[in-house]
A and B are shown apart, each in its own frame.
Chain A
Amino acid sequence: MPRRDLKVAALASAIAMLSAATQAEERYAIGRAATPAEIAGWNIDIGRDGSNLPPGSGSVERGRTVFSEQCAVCHGDNGQGGVGDRLVGGQGTLANPKPIRTVGSYWPYAPTLFDYIRRAMPQNAPQSLSNEDVYAVSAYILSLNGIVPANAVLDAKSLAAVKMPNRDGFVSDPRPDVHNR
């Protein structure tokens, strides 16, 4: 090897060692690898496009039963609200002086319904419903709002395909919006 090349090689390896050292400095080797099984158990958030929705399906019919047994006590027999939020109605009211914001009138994405019910409802026993029952009760709430038909059966694909009435109702943050100077 010519002398000049040797020099370059030495320099290169010195640089490589240096950058390895800085890398080691940046990292503390704290924590351990998360296993795929651990991640699968906790990775419950659903994308607005339905990504990460689990297998399974549920019908409006089954959802009616789940709702009356597990949800109606707080949300009313027909989702009209009680201790828990009103879940039905209000479409077309968002520009009124007294808008009614519900799943049907306000929520932009249907998969969020699965995500929220599975993680947080029923409020007294969250994460207790089977995925099938979460699909079913989501389908039922959507049917109460006239968004899916009464004979609908929803799964990952069909829930993701539901277009919510207020999908395009959101705008980005324009603040500072008050010009008082």
Chain B
Amino acid sequence: MSEHTTDKRVREASRRRFLQAGAALAGSSAISGVAGSPALAEPGNNLPPNVPEWMKTPGDPMGSQPYGTPSIHEKGVVKNISKTLPQYISASGRTPLQELDGIITPNGLFYERHHGGVPTIDPAEHRLMLHGMVDRPLVFTMEDIRRFPSQSRIHFLECSGNPVYTKPYGKTASDLVGLLSCAEWTGVPLKTVLDEAGVQAGAKWIVAEGADAAALTRSIPIEKCLDDAMLVYSQNGERLRPQQGYPLRLLLPGFEGNMNVKWLRRLKVVAEPAYSREETSKYTDPMPDGTSREFTFYMEAKSIITRPSGGQKLTTQGFHEITGIAWSGHGKIKSVEVSLDEGKSWQQAELQEPVLTRALTRFRLPWHWDGSPAVIQSRAIDETGYVQPTLAELVAVRGLNSFYHNNAIWPWRIDANGEVTNAQA
């Protein structure tokens, strides 16, 4: 270490203390710097007019991360997993929506829900069996599946219990609707594979079964199977992650997450649904009169502001961009409206291209915060003309025990010191 730099450090010590007080990034800068020179780790030292430490020595060599991971300064951006679940074998983990930009969820942050843990499947010993009301019952290897003409499409996936209708509602966008993600999926249209086996007349449903420890089973209407259903082996360009069904899953764009059976091992073409436990005991929607809705497949239009959102803080008055995501299981988002005055008036947000069918759509609204308390919220309108309802409107029809398919508007309260909280909590 040269005399010169040492002197400079001493001279700057007081200036740095100054900077520290105001530096919002103090925590993260504290872990940067060069090993063995603790003095360099002090915050502010890399700011202009100084030359940052990371410019004075070569960085990590090629190959130090054969599979890249996020910066160490983004360690906090992880799945949102409750620490107090009774058990973790049938459980879920949420996407940190408020930390993400754009419409594509990184594979490592894609939401998870499984009912018998995440199996470790050897693709060489994985088979898809297609049988039932078909002319030719078939067995496919993964190599077989990948030989079919492929397709890539961007679609969201959402768990139908996202969120429930009763308090406590959660604090952040992730707590509320984090069982939602979006990816580019690659695979083969299910119809192509069904044609290979020859579906017989009278076939109305296909029972899909996973190769996990829950052998999770759902019945899919044949119309969906012959429309936009896909057998998927890749997500965002790489093979599916184990949590997402490696090596093969079903994708039913716009249908509740549970039906998109992961670790898919069997498709049985039938005349009647299976009435499996997951479509009777669960994933049916109880109504106040004691009846329950069954086969409630579609995820209706929904949106949420992700910035500013619960748990965040506006540190200054003036310009802020309001941004969020909107989606509909029934097609494209037509428009998103934002209210800045507790729902009294609404204005059009700008939609970021591409606006795709059954995919997340990013919306934005420029905003000048004058420092006074506000309640902000968004509502989605899809191409069918359907308008996202308020929670009160939903509860008026469905009561509080319906559990699934809550697509309510979710307002955020911004108080005078800039703190953002759930306005409905």
Contact = CB atoms under 8 A, between A and B. Distances in A.
Query: Nearest 10 CB-CB pairs, A to B?
Result: A95-B290, A94-B290, A119-B215, A116-B277, A34-B137, A31-B138, A48-B275, A170-B294, A178-B389, A31-B140
Interface centre among B129, B265, B295 (most CB of A within 10 A): B129
Interface in B165-200: 192, 195-197
Contacts of A126: 116, 213-215
Contacts of A32: 138-139
B249 interface: no
A48 B294 CA distance: 14
A101 interface: yes
Instruction: Name, among A31, A38, A103, A181, the residue most crowded by chain B CB atoms within 10 Å (CB to CB).
Output: A31
A156 B324 CA distance: 53
Contact of B398 (A34, A112, A172, A177): A177
Nearest to A178: B389
Contact of A34 (B129, B290, B298): B129
A178 B207 contact: no
A30 interface: yes
- Interface SS of chain A: helix, strand, loop or mixed? loop
B289 A38 contact: no
Interface in A90-110: 94-95, 97-99, 101, 103, 106-109
8 contacts: A48-B275, A106-B281, A126-B213, A127-B215, A173-B294, A175-B296, A175-B405, A176-B386
Interface string A65-106: 000000000000000000100000000001101110101001
Interface string B403-415: 0010000000000
A34 B139 contact: yes
A74 B139 CA distance: 37
A177 B397 contact: yes
Interface in B85-111: 86-87, 89-90
A170 B289 contact: no
B274 A45 contact: yes
B397 A178 contact: yes
A13 interface: no
Given A28-B147, A45-B274, A47-B272, A173 B297 contact: yes
A33 B136 contact: yes
Interface in A9-48: 26-28, 30-34, 38-39, 42-48
B95 to A, nearest CB: 25
A99 to B, nearest CB: 6
A178 B405 CA distance: 12
Interface in A163-181: 169-178, 180-181
A101 B281 contact: yes
Contact of B214 (A119, A175, A177): A119
Dominant SS among interface residues on chain B: loop
Interface residues of A, number: 49
A89 B361 CA distance: 45
Contact of A33 (B139, B214, B289, B298): B139
A33 B272 CA distance: 24
B209 interface: yes
B422 interface: no
A178 B394 contact: yes
A47 B217 CA distance: 12
B286 A101 contact: yes
B351 interface: no
Nearest to A168: B291
B139 A47 contact: no
A172 B294 contact: yes
A20 to B, nearest CB: 15
Interface string B258-286: 00000001101000101111001100101
Nearest to B146: A30
B276 A116 contact: yes
B147 A30 contact: yes
Given A106-B280, A107-B281, A112-B276, 7 more contacts: A32-B138, A45-B209, A109-B275, A120-B215, A126-B116, A170-B284, A171-B294
A101 to B, nearest CB: 7
B293 interface: yes
A106 B280 CA distance: 8
Contact of A115 (B87, B277, B393, B405): B277
A109 B286 CA distance: 17
